[in-house]
Amino acid sequence: MKQSWILVLSAALAAPAAWAQAPQPNPAEAKKTFVADLVGRMTLEEKIGQLRLISIGPDMPIAQLADEITAGHVGGTFNSVNRPDNRRLQDAAMKTRLKIPMFFAYDVIHGHRTTFPIGLGLASTWDMASVERMARTAAREAAADSIDMTFAPMVDISRDPRWGRTSEGFGEDPYLVSQIARATVQGFQGPQRPLAADRIMASVKHFALYGAVEGGRDYNAVDMSPMRMYQDYLPPYKAAIDAGAGGVMVALNSINGVPATSNTWLMQDLLRRDWGFKGVTVSDHGAIVELTRHGVARDEREAAKLAIRAGIDMSMADSVYWKELPGLVRSGEVPMQQIDNAVTEVLGAKYDMGLFKNPYLRIGAAKDDPADLKADSRLDRPAAREVARQSLVLLENRNGTLPLSRKASIALVGPLADAPIDMLGSWSAAGYDKLAVTLRAGLNAAIGQGGRVTYARGANITGDEAIVKYLNFLNWDAPEVTQDPRTPAEMIQEAVRVAQQSDVIVAAVGEARGMSHESSSRTSLDLPQSQRDLITALKATGKPLVLVLMNGRPLALQREQKEADAILETWYAGTEGGNAISDVLFGDYNPSGKLPISFPRSVGQIPTYYNHARLGRPFTEGKPGNYTSQYFEEVTGPLYPFGYGLSYTDFALSDVVLSSPTMERGGQIEAAVTVRNTGRRAGETVVQLYIQDVAASVVRPVKELKGFRKLMLQPGEERVLRFPITEEQLKFFNARLEHVAEPGRFNVQIGLDSQAVREQGFELR
Ligand code: BGC
C-alpha cells in the first residue's frame, strides 16, 4: 500500500506541469454525482423497490421473481447461484424504466465451490495469507457463478461454545479476529474500485455482538457493558469496515434492550458517524418483521418505520419495506430524505460492484456458461489442501504416537471417518459433498506398500433419535444424519475386532456438521454417549488410539484426553479435508495450527476466554487456597488454552529482551525473542505477543494478544523475532470510553500459547 503510494507520488512529481493541472476525475465525486442524478430521477416506488433484497426459493420461484423485478419491486436477490438464472433476472431488471441492475448475493463463507475449513479452522492457521487466499479463491469462484456480494466475513467474537455459530466465526480474541476480518475483506474485494470482475463485495456480519447471546442460545438477547463492547466485541467489525467492506449485515439480537435492527445508536451514531461507514446495510433474514416479536414494534408498519429510521437500507427476505414504506412516506412519518439515503447506499454498492458499467459483469455470456456447475475441474484443490493442513491443531501426542508409519495397519473407525457432507462443515455455500475427500479416502490414497486401512463405523453420531430428527429437520436439502441400523453393541464389536487386528486405531469422532450451525446451541460440550462408548471400548484393546476430532466448537475433552494417545482437532476441514488430515497423520505436513478459542474442561466452566479481567481474588495454580476464584470440583482454567497447539518438533524460546525499559509518549520500543527448533523435524510455529497493563484506571484483562508471527524453522535453526510495540497497542477504552494509554508499567509476554510465556516489563512515561 505504502509502496504504491510512493510510486504514484514520485510519478506525479516527475510529470510535466500540464499533467498536474489537468482536471483529474475524482472517483468518489464521480460516484456521488452518478448516484445522485439517478436518485433524482426515481419515483418513490422505484426507490422503495431498490430496498428489497429477496431470496429465490420455494415461495418465490424464478418466474415470479423475474416478474417482481420487471415491476421494479426488487433491488437485489440472494440464493440463486448460477449464471442462467441470474442472467434471466438481470434481463428482467433491464426491462425496467431506468434499467437499474440487480445484484446477486450469497453466503460465501468459507469457500464457494471449493470448500475451505470452517471459520474456526481458518483462524487456527494464524496465517493471514492463507485466510486471504480462501477469500480470494472463493470470490473468484463465486464471481464465476454470477455472484456480486457475499454475506461475510462473520466476525462475531464468541466466548461461549454452546453457541452453534461459534463454528462460523474466528474465535474469542478481538485482535486475531480483527486481523482475519481485514484479510477476508481484502481477499473478497481486492484493491480495485469498482470491484474487478473476479471479486465480490464483502458485507461484514452480524453487526453487532451476535456472538454474545445469553447462555450461548441462538437468537437470545445480548446485554453488555459499553466498555466490554468497545474493548472486545466491536473491534473486528471496525477492522472489516476500515478494510473497506462495502456492506454490513445487521444482527438478529437485541443489545442492551434495543434490537440491532432498530438501534439508532448502533446504526447511526456508531457505524455511520463515529466509524464513518459508507456502504450499504442489510437486515438479517426477516429481522425487520421480528421487531414485532421483540416487542418494540406494535405491527409491521411500525417495524418498517423503526428499521428505516435506524438506518437499515435493505430489508432481507420479506416485503415489509415494499408494503409499508409508501404509506409511511406519504403520512410524513418517514421523511423522503431517509428513503433517499437508503437508496443512495444501495445504488452506491451497485456502482462499487461495477454493475452500472456492465450489469452482466459477473454473469458473462451464455456461450461461456459452465456446462457442469459441480465439475471437479472448477475446484482449487491445491489451495484447499494447503490451507486445510494449516488449520489442524495437534492437541495431544504421547510417546510420539504420531506421525504414523505408512506401513502400519490402521483401524479407521468412527461416524465421521467416511462422512463427506460433514467434511464441508455448515455454511458450505455451494460446496458439493460428492467432491469432498473423506478421511477414509484420504488415508487410503496415502497408505503405503505393506500398510492397510480397515474401516468400521463403530458408532452412530448419536443414539438419541430426537437429536437426529432435529438435525435432519434443519433446513438442509436432504436428511444428513444417517443412522446405521445395527445395535450399538454390534457396531462396537466390529470396530474392536478391526482394532485388534491392526497396529493403531484412528477414530474420527465429534459432531455432525448440523450440531455446530445456526440454531444449533448445545447444553453439553461432551461427545455424544454413543461415541464415548466406542472410544472406551477401543481404549480397552490396548492399541495406540488416535482421535481425529471433527466439530465446530470447543468440546469438553477431559475424558478423551486421558483415553487417547494422540488428539488432532480438525474442525471441518473442507473439500480436501481427508487429504490434509492424512498429510498430518503420516507426517508429510508437520502440524502448525493453534487454537483461536479456549477449550473448557466442562460446560460449567464457560466462559473460559484467556483475556478475562484481573480479579481481587484470583485463582493461582499451585496455591489455590480457599476464597479464590475457582470451581472446587475440578481444575480451574481451560483444558487447552487459547493459542495452544503442538508440533512434531519442539521449539524453545529465549527470554524476552526489550530495546528499552521505558517508552516515551508516542514512541516505540521493540521486544526481541529468539526461537529455536530444538527437535529433529522442520516445522512452523506461531510466536505470540501478549501485553498486560499492570495498573490502570479501570480493571484490565490479565493479558491481551497484540501481535503474532508464524515462522518455519529447520531442525537446529534459530531466528530472532522482533516485535515493535507502540503506544497504540497499549490503548484501551477507559470508563468514559476514551481510547487512551495510561502511563505506568506494562508486561510484555511472549510465548507459543497464551499460558506458557516469558515476561519482561517496561514503563510508559
Ligand atoms: C443468517 C445470516 C445469513 C442469512 C442469509 C440468516 O439466517 O443469520 O448469517 O447470511 O440467513 O442466508
Instruction: For residues 392 and 300, state if they share a domain.
Output: no
Amino acid of residue 11: A
Spacing, Cα 251 to ligand 1 middle (Å):
9
Spell out the SS3 assignment of 192-242: CCCCCCCCCEEEEEEECCHHHCHHHCCCCCECCCHHHHHHHHCHHHHHHHH
- Other C-beta atoms closer than 10 Å to the C-beta of 312 total 27
* Residue linked to cell 445508536: 265
d(CA 280, CA 205): 12
Q: What is the pLDDT of residue 8?
A: 37
d(CA 617, CA 637): 15
| CATH code, domain carrying 238 | 3.20.20.300
| CATH code, domain carrying 732 | 2.60.40.10
SS3 content of the chain, % helix, strand, coil (to 5): 35, 20, 45
Residue 245 contacts residue 281 (beta carbons within 8 Å): no
Spacing, Cα 312 to ligand 1 middle (Å):
16
Instruction: For residues 446 and 330, state if they share a domain.
Output: no
454 within some domain: yes
Spacing, Cα 469 to ligand 1 middle (Å):
22
Atom of ligand 1 nearest to the CA of 205: 9
* Residue linked to cell 501478549: 690
DSSP structure string for 301-316: HHHHHHHHHHT--BEE
Which residue, by CA, sits nearest to atom 5 of ligand 1? Answer: 285
Tell me whether residue 476 is exposed, middle or buried, using C-beta atoms within 10 angstroms of its C-beta: 0 to 12, 13 to 18, 19 or more.
middle
CA distances from 204 to 133, 237, 392, 449 (A): 18, 7, 26, 49
Supply the Cα-derived Rg of the chain in whole angstroms.
Answer: 27
d(CA 137, CA 386): 13
CA angle, residues 273, 277, 280, in degrees to nearest 5: 125
Whether the ω angle into residue 84 lies within 30 degrees of 0, i.e. cis, is no
Instruction: For residues 500 and 570, state if they share a domain.
Output: yes
Instruction: For residues 349 and 397, state if they share a domain.
Output: no
4 within some domain: no
d(CA 688, CA 172): 15
Atom of ligand 1 nearest to the CA of 317: 5
Spacing, Cα 285 to ligand 1 middle (Å):
6
Closest CA to 455 of 443, 446, 473: 443
d(CA 201, CA 190): 9
Which residue, by CA, sits nearest to atom 6 of ligand 1? Answer: 285
Instruction: For residues 499 and 581, state if they share a domain.
Output: yes
7 within some domain: no
Closest CA to 384 of 350, 344, 424, 413: 424
Pocket test for ligand 1, best of 156, 200, 201, 284 (most atoms within 8 A of CB): 284
Q: Is 684 in the pocket of ligand 1 (CB under 6 A)?
A: no
The grid coordinates listed for 290 are: 421480528
Instruction: For residues 320 and 410, state if they share a domain.
Output: no
Q: What is the pLDDT of residue 23?
A: 62
| CATH code, domain carrying 521 | 3.40.50.1700
Q: Is 285 in the pocket of ligand 1 (CB under 6 A)?
A: yes
Residue 51 contacts residue 343 (beta carbons within 8 Å): yes
Instruction: For residues 150 and 245, state if they share a domain.
Output: yes
Q: Is 518 in the pocket of ligand 1 (CB under 6 A)?
A: yes
pTM: 0.96
Residue 457 contacts residue 415 (beta carbons within 8 Å): yes
Instruction: For residues 407 and 333, state if they share a domain.
Output: no
* Residue linked to cell 510455529: 685
Q: Is 151 in the pocket of ligand 1 (CB under 6 A)?
A: yes
d(CA 340, CA 345): 9
- Other C-beta atoms closer than 10 Å to the C-beta of 458 total 32
Q: Sign (positive/negative) of CA torsion 486, 491, 497, 498?
A: positive
The grid coordinates listed for 500 are: 485388534
Atom of ligand 1 nearest to the CA of 152: 10
Q: Which of 363, 385, 412 is the last residue of a domain?
A: 363
Number of domains in the chain: 3
Establish whether 376 is a catalytic residue.
no
- The pLDDT tens digits of the residues spanning 376-388 come to 999 999 999 999 9
Spatial CB neighbours of 41, under 8 Å, sequence gap ≥ 6: 98
* Residue linked to cell 454490513: 248
d(CA 361, CA 373): 18
Atom of ligand 1 nearest to the CA of 154: 9
- The pLDDT tens digits of the residues spanning 305-349 come to 999 999 999 999 999 999 999 999 999 999 999 999 999 999 999
Instruction: For residues 340 and 407, state if they share a domain.
Output: no
Q: Which of 363, 388, 420 is the last residue of a domain?
A: 363
**Which letter does DSSP use for residue 733 in this model?**
E
Instruction: For residues 359 and 386, state if they share a domain.
Output: no
Amino acid of residue 549: L
Q: Which of 284, 313, 352, 380 is catalytic?
A: 284
Instruction: For residues 344 and 467, state if they share a domain.
Output: no
Spacing, Cα 629 to ligand 1 middle (Å):
39
Atom of ligand 1 nearest to the CA of 249: 10
Instruction: For residues 384 and 311, state if they share a domain.
Output: no
CA dihedral (627, 631, 636, 640) in degrees, to 10, reads -160
Residue 247 contacts residue 281 (beta carbons within 8 Å): yes
Q: Is 284 in the pocket of ligand 1 (CB under 6 A)?
A: yes
d(CA 340, CA 271): 18
- Collapsed DSSP state (helix, strand, coil) of residue 630: coil
**Which letter does DSSP use for residue 646 in this model?**
B
16 within some domain: no
Low-confidence ranges of the chain (pLDDT < 70): 1-24, 475, 624
38 within some domain: no
Closest CA to 138 of 378, 335, 323, 316: 378
- Collapsed DSSP state (helix, strand, coil) of residue 693: strand
Q: What is the pLDDT of residue 496?
A: 98
Q: Is 217 in the pocket of ligand 1 (CB under 6 A)?
A: no
305 within some domain: yes
Q: Which of 335, 363, 391 is the last residue of a domain?
A: 363
Q: What is the pLDDT of residue 17?
A: 44
Which residues sit opposite 281 in a β-bridge?
Answer: 248
72 within some domain: no
User: 733-742: which pairs have CB atoms within 8 A and are 24 or more residues apart?
Assistant: 733/226, 733/227, 733/230, 733/231, 734/696, 734/697, 734/698, 735/227, 735/697, 735/698, 737/226, 737/227, 737/230, 739/230, 742/693, 742/696, 742/697
31 within some domain: no
Spacing, Cα 582 to ligand 1 middle (Å):
33
Which residues span the domain enclosing 522?
377-597
Atom of ligand 1 nearest to the CA of 151: 10
436-453 burial, b at 16+ Cβ within 10 Å, e below that, comes to bbbbbbbbbebbeeebeb
DSSP structure string for 519-539: T---S--SPPHHHHHHHHHHH
Pocket test for ligand 1, best of 118, 166, 285 (most atoms within 8 A of CB): 285
Measured in whole angstroms, how far is the alpha carbon of residue 320 from the centre of its chain? 30
Spacing, Cα 286 to ligand 1 middle (Å):
10
